[in-house]
Structure 1
Amino acid sequence: MSADLAPVGSSLLPAGGRTLDRERARLLASVLAPGATSASLIWLPGEPSTKARPRFSEGRTYKTAEDEQAEARTAWQLRRAFRKPWVGNIALGAVFFRSDRRRVDVDNMLKHICDAGNKIAWEDDAQITALLGFAELDAQHPRTVVVVCRHVSSLDRTPAPAAGRYGPRTVR
């Protein structure tokens, strides 16, 4: 294995408990958005939440009450870290420290964070152009470490300027 493809797991995850979370976040940000000058780090204490499958009844789709409550709790915690939603491209990384070995999909835990951050940390989760998640075990201190930073991508997610009341102006 070449040096540039060497595994980073031992330096990024999981040993060391919560005292190394800030260093993990810094390394995660450097992987997600190389050259980013700043990143927001958010700790979500407790068992990491996961996005439940949508439920169907009488021809409509709905969330369970438990899923809505978990999303509201995460949104409240994100609201404490973001004064207003970021615009443009975003990189999102998370390390989910679970208290047990139960099988939970990392993509469902990431989707929970993505949906909870809509209109709070970012306008819409379509702005997330880099996404990375890890599931780890920490039976004593379950938590989620979230990193959000600006992301440079050829797929620009900066919103277009408003066209005005009657649409874009044409010059003749």
Structure 2
Amino acid sequence: MSADLAPAPVGSSLLPAGGRDLDRERARLLASALAPGATSGKLIWWLGEPSTKARPRFGAGGKTYKTDEDEQAEAATGWQLRRAFSEPWVGNVALGAVFFRSDRRRVDVDNMLKHICDAGNGIAWVDDAQITALLGFAELDPVHPRTVLVVCRHASSLDRSPRAVAAPRQAVRR
């Protein structure tokens, strides 16, 4: 089943146009769209061209590996996340990002999000499988390229909390 969505009122936007001075407002709106009613969240932002996840490379024997450039970019993003997280969050997480690129080159938003998801493993969240809400935007800012990131607790019917170790199963007699 599908239905047409009504157009947004003229002048309305999830992300208001403007410079860096509006990043906090963008983050607030993004958090409210991702995780309505969330009581805890973090805004993290840093200057520089947003990184993207490179395609996997294949080596001898068909083993996959990351390029040195991809490893370095992931480590740099990890350091940005370490500034905000003293330990990884457990449970459901909502992640939203606005990537301000300096040029109009074609870069997939999903690859920029995947880069953030992988870089945050063990730092901001235990594993990116905990991310149950995800939203990303690519914008242009030739003067101040940057990444604006929002991480919130997320209520979902798909519970990603750590599970207690299950009791050993009894052997079934037939």
The TM-score normalised by the length of structure 2 is 0.89
**Which position in structure 1 is the counterpart of 2:20?**
18
Give the unaligned 5+ runs of structure 2: none
1:116 maps to which residue? 119
Per-residue CA deviation, residues 96-130 of structure 1 (Å, 9 max, x unaligned), is 00000000000000000000000000000000000
Look up the match of 1:159: 162
Structure 1: segments with no counterpart, 5+ residues? none
Match of 1:96 among 88, 92, 99: 99
Q: 1:60 to 1:74 in 2, by over 3 A?
A: same
- Letter matched to residue 135 of structure 2: L
Change (3 A) 1:128 1:155: same
Q: How far apart are residue 15 of structure 1 and its match?
A: 2.1
Does residue 76 (structure 1) correspond to residue 79 (structure 2)? The answer is yes
- Closer, same or farther: CA 35–8 of 1 in aligned 2, 3 Å: farther
Distance 1:9 1:81 in 2: 33
Equivalent residue runs for 1:4-43 within 5 Å: 6=8, 10-13=12-15, 15-43=17-45
Bigger helix fraction:
1
Per-residue Cα deviation, 1:61-97 (whole angstroms, up to 9, x for no partner): 0000000000000001101100000000000000000
Aligned sequence identity (%): 82
8 A contact 1:14–1:137 mirrored in 2? no
Pairwise CA distance, 1:16: 1.5
Which residue of the partner structure matches residue 149 of structure 1?
152
Label 1:144 to 1:169 Cα distance change in 2 as closer, same or farther (>3 A): same
Q: Report the count of equivalent residues.
A: 165
Task: Point out the more displaced range, 5-14 or 31-40.
Answer: 5-14
CA distance in 2, matches of 1:155, 1:93: 18
Shift in CA distance, 101/14, structure 1 to aligned 2, threshold 3 Å: farther
**Alpha-carbon contact 2:15-2:29 (below 8 Å) kept:** no
Amino acid paired to 1:148: V
Flag the 1:57–1:72 CA change in 2: closer, same or farther, 3 A.
same
How far 1:57 sits from its partner (Å)? 1.2
With normalisation by structure 1, the TM-score equals 0.90
Task: Please tell me whether the aligned partners of residues 41 and 148 of structure 1 are also in contact (alpha carbons under 8 angstroms).
Answer: yes
- Aligned to 1:12, the other structure's residue is in SS state coil
**CA distance change for structure 1 residues 87 and 9 in 2, over 3 Å: closer, same or farther?**
farther
